[in-house]
Amino acid sequence: QTEIQWWHAMGGELGAKLEEITKGFNDAQDEYTVVPSYKGTYPETMTAAIAAFRAQQQPAVVQVFEVGTGTMMAAEGAIVPVHQLMADQGAAFDPQAYLPAVVGYYTDTEGNMLSLPFNSSTPIVYYNKTMFEKAGLDPDTPPETWAELEEFSAKIRDSGAGTCGFTTQWISWIQTENLSAWHNQPIGTEGNGFGGLSARLTLNGPVQVKHWENLKRLSDEGVFKYGGPVGGDNAAPMFYSQDCAMYMASSASRAGVIANAKDFEVGYGMLPFYDDVEGAPQNSIIGGASLWVLSGRPDEEYAGVAKFFEYLSTPAVQADWASFSGYLPITQAAMEQMADFYAQNPGADTGIRQITLNAPTENSKGLRFGNYVQIRGIIDEEFEQLLSGSKDAQGALDAVVERGNALLEEFQAQNQ
Ligand SMILES: O=P(O)(O)OC[C@H](O)CO
């Protein structure tokens, strides 16, 4: 038997489901055993894989979050492009089967898909219907705009239903990148980096500045509670404990929310928007991750990886994973299989409706920048400067642009 190492970043309920899916493949044939290993957060998993590659101890497959795509695409000798792997191994692979928002993200400028889409998400609003009722709010109506979100938060706090209006995961992904796409604002030049390595950040525009200013004010007022850097791991507990009535998080936080919302009913809503921004709401962008194949492993492992990827791409596996997790159905076929599930689980389709709300523009089809994992770290650092009062919103976002652009220049110089 050939063992195939798969490093991933899925913890909790998602990790358990990933192992169950892998077992399904291992049990169905006897040539290969895929061994999944949890390596921590997305940035930790990516860093571990890069270090392992340098030490020639890399796994065959690694799960890399969507914002690592620019860096992975540039690492030409280190990766085996998925379209090439599947062709070399004579495996079935149809990039056209994937939804356009997904294909575009993982395809190079020649139209080749370089990694295998596996888990695509988008951020949504989870809200506590039980707290809404206590506050005299309609439990079936989530806030549509930021003004409503503030109004609802005031009612939650004034009525004593909760101490905090809302919290959020990922200041970078949700409150900066998606905020921008949702309001049809660019975050960088060259179509948010899709046009090439000369792209530079522009995420210090008036809409982003106004939004960060609001988050600072709401934080000072106690309406918003910050969940911490990177994914904002402290946010979920504040929602589960019913301190905060609303929680902006990945659609794939659904599995965790269902498991932890023991004493209350959960509602689902789209991200709020500013109704004075023309073109909002536009569409949100994907998050999550894809599977990259690393070079330098024995040939027999690649034959097994191709078989495993065929299995992961079947509509049944995709639909099972998406229904359980809240990740989006990433192929047309999986989406069709999920029609009954969506009909029986109101709100579970919020993410897919939001990401397809309008045809994507240059500002809302995603982003592709090198060194972006580090740039996300800068976004977190500057947001904390804002919260502590050391900088105002304009100053913090200007600093993100200046420091981020230095990293983009460095990346361009190294990869041209
Ligand atoms: O938690 P996920 O898998 O939906 O991913 C969230 C972000 O996209 C990570 O960059």
Q: What is the pLDDT of residues 34-56, one digit of tens each?
A: 999 999 999 999 999 999 999 99
At residue 109, the pLDDT reads 86
Provide mean pLDDT across the span 63-72: 96
Which numbered atom of ligand 1 lies nearest the CA of 287?
8
Proportion of the chain above pLDDT 70, given as a percent: 100
Binned at pLDDT 50, 70 and 90, residue 226 comes out as very high
Q: Is the CB of 366 under 6 A from ligand 1?
A: no
pLDDT at 271 over 90: yes
Residue 404 token pair: 């981020």
> Which of these, 174, 157, 155, 160, lies nearest to 215 by C-alpha position?
174
Give the distance from CA 305 to its chain's centroid: 24
Cβ proximity of 307 and 138 under 8 Å? no
Q: Is the CB of 173 under 6 A from ligand 1?
A: yes
Pairing mode, strands 79-80 and 287-294:
antiparallel
pLDDT at 374 over 90: yes
At residue 49, the pLDDT reads 97
Q: How far is the CA of 250 from the centre of ligand 1 (A)?
A: 6
For 312, phi then psi, to 5°, come to -65, -25
Helix-helix angle 315-325:12-28, to 10 degrees: 160
Q: How far is the CA of 286 from the centre of ligand 1 (A)?
A: 8
Provide mean pLDDT across the span 10-38: 97
Q: Is the CB of 118 under 6 A from ligand 1?
A: no
Torsion angle of C-alpha atoms 188, 193, 197, 198, degrees rounded to 10: -30
Q: How far apart are CA 49 and CA 55, in angstroms?
A: 10
At residue 270, the pLDDT reads 98
Q: Which residues neighbour 405 within 8 Å (Cβ) at sequence distance 6 or greater?
A: 200, 201
- Helix and strand counts by DSSP (H, E) for the chain: 19, 11
Tokens 């659609």, residue? Answer: 251
Provide mean pLDDT across the span 15-37: 98
Q: What is the pLDDT of residues 182-202, one digit of tens each?
A: 999 999 999 999 999 999 999
Cβ proximity of 325 and 119 under 8 Å? yes
For all residues of the chain together, what is the average pLDDT? 97
> Which of these, 124, 253, 271, 123, lies nearest to 211 by C-alpha position?
271
Provide mean pLDDT across the span 270-297: 97
Q: What is the pLDDT of residues 131-140, one digit of tens each?
A: 999 999 999 9
Tell me how many degrees the CA angle 200-105-193 measures, rounded to the nearest 5: 10
Q: How far is the CA of 234 from the centre of ligand 1 (A)?
A: 15
What's the half-sphere exposure (Cβ side, CA atoms, 13 Å) at 286? Answer: 27
Which numbered atom of ligand 1 lies nearest the CA of 252?
4
Q: What is the pLDDT of residues 121-167, one digit of tens each?
A: 999 999 999 999 999 999 999 999 999 999 999 999 999 999 999 99
Q: What is the pLDDT of residues 308-324, one digit of tens each?
A: 999 999 999 999 999 99
Provide mean pLDDT across the span 165-185: 98
pLDDT at 116 over 90: yes
pLDDT at 416 over 90: no
At residue 155, the pLDDT reads 98
Provide mean pLDDT across the span 240-258: 97
Structure ipTM? 0.98
At residue 223, the pLDDT reads 98
